[in-house]
Amino acid sequence: MKFLDDDLRGRVGLWLWRFWAMMLKELIQLGRDSLLVFAITYLFLFDVYMAGNVGMNLKNAVVTVHDADHSAASRELIYRFQPPYFKLGGEMADGRAGQRLLDTGEALVVLDIPPRFEHDIQSGKPTAVQVQVDAANTVLGFLAASYSAQIIGQYGFDQALARLGVSASALENVPMIRDEHRVWYNPNQKDAWFMPLSELLVVITIMAIMLPAAAAVREKERGTIEQLLVTPLSPIQILLPKVVAMTLVILLGTAASILLVLHGVFDFPMKGSLALFFTVTALYAFTTSGLGIFISTLARNLAQAALLAILVLLPMIFLSGAWTPPEAMPAGLREAMVLSPLYYFIEMGYGILLKGAGLDILWDSLLGLALLGMTIFGLGVWRFRRQFG
């Protein structure tokens, strides 16, 4: 009596045959889960696309004016607040109304021009205008304040020159420092390059944790793991096909995102080797799945798994440099960044795709990712084997 067919006698052949069966099963199941397919499509395509359209730029900030002077000078100053940064939101009769508009969020900037503004300028007396800025959103508030200061300063400078009767060309003889900076890697400082790439790397992270966690916890929730445990499959043989299948799905999603969104919509430069980028992504997705596996051993159902995933994801993203540059972190947290695999992945993702860097420069990040990733994966596998071994 024989229990195995002859051509599967070899243990390696049998192992691969089972691996193939399990991986196929994972892909079929994923394909049937329309909600998950929707989430994958949405995150890899639309979410990345949207990230390219919302930047931290000052755009059409509403400026409301209280002009107590109503003179040519005051009008000129007001009209220097121009799109795309500013938009005039009309005039108020009363200075105190400005406070209310800031409170309700109807205006971001309130410009208050005092009476006798023109008269004072023309008579050479010092004068002042008041600018109130809503800095509830600190970035926007900071940008609005500094742009306003620049506009008003330039206006004062122009007025001073005019009053001295000096033409702009005469300034060439005045000693001045000209600021000639160069911006590298993203010369136009396009948010539409930086933001979608950053978002894509975060989406890869979410998927690398959530997909294997969902696949593993679903088996627990529906009791199918019991059936697998009485088959000759070892825990590794149950686990590995899941991780490989989900890594494949992530690579596919990444390829679609880069081709359709980064390249297709935003005309991303794509400086470095795509092969290197996909290799790094595969390594990252595979090893980070260890966190998902770990979560699946703790959670009893999908809802718990999702909650735990958020708990893991938030510090991981926070410590990665995706939202805050490392230099801006306080000392303790900056050191903790080496514990976030996403930190290395972002280093390498930016390095390869934006700067065109190769392994000669990025080897240390790769080493860090490999070591950290293997530790995480090992932890997940250890927990899984302990639970189901």
Partner 1 sequence: MGQAAVVNDDALVVRVQDFVKRYRKRTAVEGVSLAIRRGEIYGLIGPDGAGKSSLMKAVAGVLAFEGGYIEIFGQTIDSEAAAERVKGRLGFMPQGLGLNLYPELSVEENIDFFAELREVPKAELQARKLRLLAMTRLEKFRDRAMKQLSGGMKQKLGLVCTLIHEPELIILDEPTTGVDPVSRRDFWAILTQLLRERGVTALVSTAYLDEAERFARMALLHGGRVLAEGTPEAILDEAPGSLVEFVAAPQMEALARLRARFANVEAVGGRIRVFVPDGQAQAALAEVRAQLDGLAVELATASIPSLEDAFIALLQRQRGENEEAPMVAGLKEDPPVGDGVAIEARGLVRDFDHFRAVDQVSFTVRQGEIFGLLGANGAGKTTVIKMLTGILPPTGGAGAVAGADMRHAGQAIKERIGYVSQAFSLYQDMTVRENLRLFARIYGVSRQNLDARIGRVVELARLGKVCNEIVGRLPMGIRQRLALASALVHGPRVLFLDEPTSGVDPIGRRRFWEILVHLARVEQVAILLTTHYMSEAEHCDHLALMYAGKVIADDTPQALKDALVREAGQVLDIAAEPVLPALEALEQTGLADAALFGRRIHVLAHDVTAATVRIRGILEGKGIRVEDIAPRAPTLEDVFVWRILERERAEVAR
Q: Are 310 and 234 in contact (CB under 8 A)?
A: no
Q: Least separation, in Å, of the C-beta of 203 and partner 1? A: 25
Q: Least separation, in Å, of the C-beta of 211 and partner 1? A: 15
Which residues touch 387 (CB under 8 Å, ≥6 apart)? 297
Amino acid at 32: R
With respect to partner 1, which residue has the nearer C-beta, 12 or 177? 12
What separation in angstroms does the CA of 39 have from each of 33, 228, 259, 276?
10, 28, 19, 27
With respect to partner 1, which residue has the nearer C-beta, 17 or 155? 17
Q: Least separation, in Å, of the C-beta of 225 and partner 1? A: 8
Judged by the rule CB under 8 A, the positions of this chain that interact with partner 1 are 1, 3-8, 14, 17-18, 20-22, 24-25, 28-29, 32-33, 222-233
- Specify which residues 204 forms β-bridges with: none
d(CA 226, CA 249): 26
Interstrand relation of 86-91 and 61-67 (parallel, antiparallel or unpaired):
parallel
With respect to partner 1, which residue has the nearer C-beta, 16 or 166? 16
What separation in angstroms does the CA of 6 have from each of 21, 29, 115?
18, 30, 100
Q: Least separation, in Å, of the C-beta of 249 and partner 1? A: 16
Phi-psi region of 97 (alpha: psi -120 to 50; beta: other; left: phi over 0): alpha
Q: Least separation, in Å, of the C-beta of 304 and partner 1? A: 18
With respect to partner 1, which residue has the nearer C-beta, 23 or 316? 23
Q: Least separation, in Å, of the C-beta of 237 and partner 1? A: 9
Residue 113 parent element (H or E): strand 109-113
Q: Least separation, in Å, of the C-beta of 6 and partner 1? A: 8
Q: Least separation, in Å, of the C-beta of 22 and partner 1? A: 7
d(CA 175, CA 169): 13
Q: Are 52 and 265 in contact (CB under 8 A)?
A: yes
With respect to partner 1, which residue has the nearer C-beta, 31 or 90? 31
With respect to partner 1, which residue has the nearer C-beta, 37 or 171? 37
N-term to C-term CA, the chain: 29
- Find the Cα–Cα–Cα–Cα dihedral 237, 238, 240, 241, rounded to 10°: 100
- DSSP of 188-216: T--HHHHHHHHHHHHHHHHHHHHHHHHHH
Q: Least separation, in Å, of the C-beta of 232 and partner 1? A: 4
d(CA 201, CA 345): 8
With respect to partner 1, which residue has the nearer C-beta, 234 or 324? 234
Q: Are 364 and 279 in contact (CB under 8 A)?
A: no
With respect to partner 1, which residue has the nearer C-beta, 20 or 323? 20
Q: Are 271 and 261 in contact (CB under 8 A)?
A: no
With respect to partner 1, which residue has the nearer C-beta, 30 or 88? 30
Q: Least separation, in Å, of the C-beta of 297 and partner 1? A: 18
Q: Are 133 and 108 in contact (CB under 8 A)?
A: yes
Structure tokens belonging to residue 308: 């735990």
With respect to partner 1, which residue has the nearer C-beta, 176 or 230? 230
